[in-house]
Amino acid sequence: MQNHLNRRDFVKTATMGSIGFGLLGNATSSFANSTVAPGKRVGIIGLDTSHVTAVTNSLNGPNVSANWGGYKVVAAYPTKGSADMKESIGRLAGFTDAVKALGVEIVDSIEDLLKKVDVVLLESVDGRRHLAEALPVLKAGKRMFIDKPVAASLADAMVIFAAAKKYNVPVFSASSLRYIPGAKEIAEGKIGAVHGADSYGHCFIEPHHPDLFYYGIHGVEILYTIMGTGCKSVARTHLNNSDMAVGTWKDDRIGTFRGTRFGTGKMGATVFGEKGIEVLDKSPGYDPLWVKIIEFFDTGVVPVTAEETLETLAFMEAADESRLKGGMAVDLETVMERARKKAKNIRY
């Protein structure tokens, strides 16, 4: 895979590769159903995203990397999908067939899944379902990665992390764009202290999620990977074919996200440091995220903290509120406090 591929091309290629491999039939089934070491059985909840075929091909394929530590996807629960989201209901059957062809057992419920697996990937494309789907996994004591967005509201996400703490089960969520090439070197001081950053990315609006949650989250997570936590307010301007969200950090640094609804879907950032300017524009693919997930399954140590994930969601909810207020800056702590009050009324 060439590094300059945009995310949409990468998803298409990874998905088609997975489906093609599944057509090998008996060879894949016998491989995937071979004995899996204790603790290494992976279960998937939700089969309405191309991510499930990509990860299953990586973990169950013929040329398995040592990076995957012997983990295999052994069972999956498709769910019923979301009838009001074409991105969900229109793809559910195809991805279910593709995963099944890779030797994965399809089960009828989350409860059935939890009897057969050690760790879980929550992959449902609709963040509105994540809280209800995550709670039984946490109650069962199984480590879980939740694909973005961790939930369709900041309040739901707070409840997920509170339940994880209550049941003493580590959980995390992240976009693969956190591992965009060059970000690690910047974190290690390549351009000195980061004074600010401008991130960008495709921002398709899905009406059942806050505007930036559904796809803009990729670019926002790039921004947080570079800037870290500490944003105090967000102001959002709606342009003809894009949005600009401007965050002001507590140390007076500025970080921006431009979400586009046109073009190639490329994602990246320009980073401004004390020793120079760095441009990040190469696709990371999925593998760097898979590596982090496997390390998390092994150790229980989360690579992205709940606090950072929650602030990322607060940034995006504040951007929505700012749009409704004509671009007025919205304080993140106000957004967080309002979500905390809502979360207190959600039983788990």
Domains of the chain: 7-125 (no CATH), 177-286+315-334 (3.30.360.10)
What is the pLDDT confidence band of residue 26, given thresholds at 50, 70 and 90?
A: very low
Q: Does position 176 have pLDDT exceeding 80, yes or no?
A: yes
pLDDT tens digits for 90-117? 788 898 999 999 999 999 999 999 999 9
Per-residue pLDDT, 34: 57
Q: State the pLDDT confidence band at 169, using cuts at 50, 70 and 90.
A: very high
Report the C-alpha gap between 123 and 314 in whole angstroms: 22
pLDDT tens digit sequence for 218-263: 999 999 999 999 999 999 998 778 899 999 999 999 999 999 987 6
β-strand 171-173 against 144-146: which pairing, if any?
parallel
End-to-end CA distance of the chain: 43
**Among 31-45, 170-184, 220-234, 245-259, the least confident range:** 31-45
Of the candidates 256, 251, 220, the one whose C-alpha atom is nearest the C-alpha of residue 235 is 256
Pairwise CA distance, residues 326 & 142, whole Å: 44
Q: Which residues make beta-bridge pairs with 99?
A: none
- DSSP H stretches of helix in 210-305: 217-227, 287-299
- Is the CB of residue 77 less than 8 Å from the CB of residue 134? no
Torsional sign, CA 65, 130, 309, 114: negative
Burial of residue 2 (number of CB atoms within 10 Å: 0-12, 13-18, 19+): exposed
The one-letter code for the residue type at 271 is V
Residue 28 has pLDDT above 80, yes or no: no
**Taking a C-beta distance cutoff of 8 angstroms, is the pair 157, 256 a contact?**
no
Least confident of 1-15, 94-108, 180-194: 1-15
| CA separation for the pair 300, 221 (Å, rounded) | 22
The pLDDT of residue 82: 85
As beta bridge partners, residue 122 has 45, 146
pLDDT of residue 214: 86
Burial class (CB in 10 A: 0-12, 13-18, 19+), 64: middle
Which amino acid is residue 51, in one-letter code? H
Task: Kindly report, residue by residue over 122-159, the tens digit of the pLDDT.
Answer: 999 899 999 999 999 999 999 999 999 999 999 999 99
22 pLDDT band, cuts 50/70/90, is: very low
Give tens-digit pLDDT for 269-278.
999 999 999 9
pLDDT at 25 (0 to 100): 35
